[in-house]
Amino acid sequence: MPKGFDAVVVGAGSFGSWTALHLRRRGLRVALLDAYGPAHSRASSGGESRIIRMGYGPNEVYTRFSMRALREWQELFAMTGELSGPAPPLFNRTGVLWFAQDSDHAPDSYLAQTLAAFRRLGVPHQTFSRPELLRMYPQVHMDERITWGLLEPESGVLMARRAVAAVVDQAVREGVEYRQAAVVPPAAGPQMTRLKEVQTTEGQSISLATNSDTGSGGESAATRKPGGGVVVFACGPWLPKLFPDLLGNRIFNTRQEVYFFGVPAGDPRFGPPIMPTWIDLGEEAYGMPDLESRGFKVAMDRHGPAFDPDSGGRLPTPEGISQARQYLAKRFPSLAPAPVVETRVCQYENTSNGDFLLDRHPTLQNVWLAGGGSGHGFKHGPAVGAYLTSQILDGGPPEPRFSLQTKQNVQNRAIY
């Protein structure tokens, strides 16, 4: 038996659980740790639902990531029976509709660049004129600024909390060892170049494989990648706490409120298939139809105040509810008086511009950092896991946008 793990992944959210699964499928002995549990209520991967869409303007790397991720999510759900079983589906193909304005026709606009990327990459899509939108979606108030629409018919909504649980369950079935444990910040002195173990707050030591250890597949991680076991810290908003000197001013945790409004009794206009998921860039808003009878989801995609993921309060504010109602009155007027039936307070962990952080630690050679989901990362879990696994085991040129070096200490958002 091996003396230590080939890989320890800290954080069982979308990034961490998929990374653990991909590493295991390459034959490594993998431990997956989380302080509170997979996709728990404090996690950025927690909550009920997340959009999966292909539209990213000029940022084609994320369109490609989304295309791969959707395939892998669906393959996993098919493998585990989650697509055809009696439980509600973990992926709802609602379609994703972008509300566009006249200025979005300009060649350098976000949606024009999105449309060009769709055509290059073969992403299924449809465009609609203003008269077509008015006819198809009479429940939406299209003010005169909305002049056209872009629909991704194959995109939709992942049921976040349950989807991550399905990934972790499958990883455990394939041999990943899951433990609920909180880790202490790793020491990184000037003479230290590698971690030999991961320490938990309960005083346990989780050891890493060395060059002399043999993995469960008969081949050691050291023979595939020199130096023995690796640790991947994929713990989202906790990364600045574990690496305060390195990331304390490079990842910005912000408080984000989400609301679910009750739809009128017997009214099908705000649920699928009539109502798609929607993105309103001009108003910095997005939302989802009434899924699983939980309510019509509305969120403002503006960065909130700084937030602590452990101790931050998770009750909605009157100001936040008022902003959401003002938006409903403007875009979905018949829902303006609707009751709030559920709320969520989560967080974004933003990098300076919204690009992911997927890179090796600058001094600890066997430590990798995976975070900076920046409010759009959940959907990309499968692609992130595949990318990190390839970087760890195969090397090759990394994506410069994911590097630590590109992360600044002033926010200047560019990824939506």
Quick one: fold of 97-156+253-348?
D-Amino Acid Oxidase; Chain A, domain 2 (3.30.9)
Looking at residue 317, its amino acid is: T
The pLDDT, as a whole number, for residue 76 is 97
pLDDT, tens only, 250-291 = 999 999 999 999 999 999 999 999 999 999 999 999 999 999
**Domain ranges (residues) in the chain:** 7-45+161-250+353-406, 97-156+253-348
Residue written as tokens 């509810």?
A: 321
Helix axes of 381-394 and 60-79: crossing angle, nearest 10 degrees? 100
Q: At what angle do helices 110-121 and 60-79 cross, to 10 degrees?
A: 60
Closest CA to 4 of 196, 183, 207: 207
Instruction: Report pLDDT for 256.
Output: 97
Question: Which one-letter amino acid corresponds to residue 250?
Answer: R
Q: What are phi and psi of 100, to 5 degrees?
A: -115, 155
Is CATH 3.50.50.60 the classification given to domain 7-45+161-250+353-406?
yes
Question: What whole-number distance in Å separates Cα of residue 51 and Cα of residue 277?
Answer: 8
Decide if 7-45+161-250+353-406 and 97-156+253-348 have a common fold.
no
| pLDDT score of 85 | 64
- Determine the Cα–Cα distance for residues 184 and 201; give it in Å rounded to an integer: 6
Would you list the DSSP string of 175-243? T-EEEE--BPPPP--TT-----EEEBTTS-EEEB--TT---TTSS-HHHHSTTS-EEEE--GGGHHHHS
pLDDT in tens, 168-187: 999 999 999 999 999 999 98
Tokens of 15: 């990034």
Query: pLDDT below 70 — which residues of the chain?
Result: 1-2, 83-85, 212-227
